Amino acid sequence: MTKRIFRSILLVSGLVLLVGLGCMLAVFRQYFDGQLEKELQQEASYLSIAVEDSGADALEKLSSQRERVTWIGADGKVLFDNRADSEGMENHGDREEIQEALEKGSGQATRYSSTLGEKTVYYALRLEDGTVLRVSTTQYTTASIVLGMLQPVLWILILALVLSGIFASRASKTIVAPLNKLDLDNPELNEPYEEVAPLLGKIGHQQRTIRRQLKEARRQQEEFAMITGHMEEGLLVIDKQTDLLSWNPSALRLLGSKEARAETSVLSLNRSEPFQKAVEGALAGSRTETLLEVNGVFCRISANPVLDEGAVKGAVLLLVDVTETMQRENLRREFTANVSHELKTPLTSISGFAEILQDGLVQPQDIRKFAGRIFDEAQRLIVLVSDVIKISQLDEGSVPYEAETVELSEMVNGILTRLTPAAEKNQITLHTEGTAKLRTVKPILEEVLYNLCDNAVKYNRKGGKVSVDLRQEKDFIEVSVSDTGIGIPAADQSRVFERFYRVDKSHSKEIGGTGLGLSIVKHGAAYLGASLDLQSSPGEGSTFTLHWELSENDQTGK
Ligand code: ADP
């Protein structure tokens, strides 16, 4: 802008300078022409008086250096000329100024010589005797004057232009400076020029609108980020070039990616084929679902196209973590297969014994023994089925019991009494120590403790020991069941809580376990809000500990 103003000012001043110079020249020219004419007239008038008085003598004394003076007879013959020999001069009767003077008393004419760049101005005055006295002078033409003065004029022009340039530069800077200092954040507070006030007003109005819209857009973005940021589900919004427009932390976590950048392809987050197909499918305009596994995490991806007037503008991908569902499903499938297998074994035995009895292949004295075997297998079946029911109930959280305050020592004594016959068979001694009171779901706790004590007896050695210690502190309660039995190898310690997992599979049948006991313990403890810990060393024994942290309510309620 400064440059434009500078150029405009320079151009205008240049033009003004030229036009002014031209006008001045014309005015001067006119003025000097007028002056010259006047001088010629005066001179002619003085000379005419002298000639009329003294005749040609008055002219003889005239110098040839001054204006040219010519005296012409009434017939046009040159009588005298102070610059030339009048004898040799042609008749002047036809000259314009002479004719005019003869007719009107005075005459005037101007003649140009383009070769010399001169003009001659003539003034003729008729004398009383009819002769004509002519005074003339030569003057340069405007063009020749200009040409003659070209160099100084050019210098003046250059000087004027340089000065104009300096002033134009200063002026343009002075004009632009207030505009450069404008505070566009608050345009209406500026007062540089009256003329720009409407423009500033408009800018101010537009800025307010933009600020309002930005605020609204930011609010919506923050709202979106807050909502999606707390979502468990992953959310990705992409454009039709697969470039990321929006995403939330869950999406990155589920895709196993640490960071994302806007305007980069979503495929850089996960390069697996199913993910690529889901993205491509949605961008082709159809809803696509796929299951993806990243580092052991399963997620279901629903990719939906975003349509605008029938054209695909992008896609929205929703990612849901289904790992737990998948694991539960796998567990259930495995459990069903295991249950079927576990049921089949006793049923096959029962069916086999019954068939032998039916075919009369058993000696009468052995019938009781066979019936006993059938009874044992049926008992195993009953225990197994009841364990399956218990574990299913815990799985589904559909336990039909209410919480009550339980005196743990009473419960433990009851359990140990029930286990005394089995313990006596192997001369195992049972102990309990301490007391504790807990508000809990009694049947589940009883089941948990029974299974622990039952295992402590089952997996003990002859003459071994089982002790149940109860400990009630201000802020926790602990129940530990210890035995001096065979112990559990370190490698199996984390697996014994799995359904149907047994350390010694061949031995388990004669011991009579279902493989579900510790699984019930684990689920039961979780249901009762207790943590479960196992310490064991093979050949020395095992200790299972249940631990309840007491809240302030529990402490005051005891
Ligand atoms: P089971 O019905 O076979 O006893 P559990 O789920 O109760 O099934 O136990 C799983 C396995 O853990 C058992 O088969 C056994 O090998 C081991 N186990 C459980 N308790 C003890 C213990 N107190 N001492 C040694 N091994 C144990």
Q: 386 CA distance to ligand 1 centroid (A)? A: 18
CB-ligand 1 contact for 515 (6 Å cutoff): yes
Any idea which of 242-256, 314-328, 393-407 has the lowest mean pLDDT? 393-407
DSSP label at 89? Answer: P
Distance CA 456, CA 469 (A): 13
Q: 451 CA distance to ligand 1 centroid (A)? A: 9
Tokens linked to 198:
């409407």
The arithmetic mean of pLDDT across residues 3-31, rounded, is 85
Q: Which are the contacts of 387, defined by CB distance < 8 A and separation ≥ 6?
A: 514, 516, 517, 520
CB-ligand 1 contact for 456 (6 Å cutoff): yes
- Residue 558's pLDDT band, with cuts at 50, 70 and 90, is very low
The arithmetic mean of pLDDT across residues 515-529, rounded, is 93
C-alpha dist (Å) from residue 75 to 84, 102, 131: 19, 10, 8
> Percent of the chain beyond pLDDT 70?
97
Give yes or no for residue 116 having a pLDDT over 70: no
- How far, rounded to the nearest angstrom, does the alpha carbon of residue 453 sit from its chain's CA centroid? 63
Q: 459 CA distance to ligand 1 centroid (A)? A: 7
Give yes or no for residue 81 having a pLDDT over 90: no
Give yes or no for residue 556 having a pLDDT over 80: no
pLDDT confidence of residue 177: 84
pLDDT confidence of residue 65: 63
pLDDT confidence of residue 557: 46
Closest CA to ligand 1's atom 11: 502
The arithmetic mean of pLDDT across residues 98-121, rounded, is 85
- Residue 378's pLDDT band, with cuts at 50, 70 and 90, is very high
Could you tell me which residue, 414 or 23, shows the higher pLDDT? 414
Any idea which of 62-66, 115-119, 148-152, 191-195 has the lowest mean pLDDT? 62-66
pLDDT confidence of residue 128: 87
pLDDT confidence of residue 553: 67
Distance CA 383, CA 374 (A): 14
Any idea which of 11-25, 86-100, 173-187, 441-455 has the lowest mean pLDDT? 173-187
Vertex 26: Cα angle to 7 and 101 (nearest 5): 170
Closest CA to ligand 1's atom 23: 456
Q: 399 CA distance to ligand 1 centroid (A)? A: 24
Tokens linked to 124:
């003729």
pLDDT confidence of residue 347: 93
Q: Are 100 and 108 in contact (CB under 8 A)?
A: yes
The arithmetic mean of pLDDT across residues 186-208, rounded, is 81
Label each residue of 369-427 as H, E or C.
HHHHHHHHHHHHHHHHHHHHHHHHHHHHCCCCCCCEEEEHHHHHHHHHHHHHHHHHHCC
> Percent of the chain beyond pLDDT 90?
46
Give yes or no for residue 52 having a pLDDT over 70: yes
pLDDT confidence of residue 64: 62
- Residue 35's pLDDT band, with cuts at 50, 70 and 90, is confident
Q: Are 132 and 74 in contact (CB under 8 A)?
A: yes
Distance CA 510, CA 148 (A): 140
Q: 419 CA distance to ligand 1 centroid (A)? A: 16
pLDDT confidence of residue 301: 94
- Which of these, 118, 69, 83, 77, lies nearest to 95 by C-alpha position? 77
CB-ligand 1 contact for 483 (6 Å cutoff): yes
Closest CA to ligand 1's atom 16: 503
The arithmetic mean of pLDDT across residues 151-178, rounded, is 86
Kindly provide the residue ranges of all beta strands, DSSP E only, lying in 282-349, ordered along the sequence. Answer: 288-294, 297-308, 311-321
- Residue 554's pLDDT band, with cuts at 50, 70 and 90, is low
- Residue 509's pLDDT band, with cuts at 50, 70 and 90, is low
The arithmetic mean of pLDDT across residues 367-387, rounded, is 91
Q: Which are the contacts of 164, defined by CB distance < 8 A and separation ≥ 6?
A: 9, 10, 13, 14, 17
C-alpha dist (Å) from residue 36 to 8, 105, 120: 41, 19, 11
Within the chain, what is the greatest distance between any pair of CA atoms?
Answer: 202
Closest CA to ligand 1's atom 12: 496
pLDDT confidence of residue 238: 94
Q: 372 CA distance to ligand 1 centroid (A)? A: 26
pLDDT confidence of residue 430: 97
Q: Are 519 and 411 in contact (CB under 8 A)?
A: no
Vertex 251: Cα angle to 287 and 232 (nearest 5): 100
Q: Could you tell me the end-to-end alpha-carbon distance of the chain, in angstroms, rounded to an integer?
A: 88
Give yes or no for residue 164 having a pLDDT over 80: yes
pLDDT tens, 119-159? 888 999 998 888 999 999 887 776 777 777 778 888 888 88
The arithmetic mean of pLDDT across residues 524-528, rounded, is 93
- Which of these, 137, 150, 169, 312, lies nearest to 241 by C-alpha position? 312
CB-ligand 1 contact for 517 (6 Å cutoff): yes
pTM of the complete model: 0.54
- Which of these, 526, 517, 529, 535, lies nearest to 451 by C-alpha position? 517
The helix-helix angle for 150-180 and 2-54 (nearest 10°) equals 150
CB-ligand 1 contact for 486 (6 Å cutoff): yes
- Which of these, 550, 534, 548, lies nearest to 445 by C-alpha position? 548
Tokens linked to 402:
């209410």
When mean pLDDT is compared over 206-210, 261-265, 402-406, 448-452, the highest value belongs to 448-452
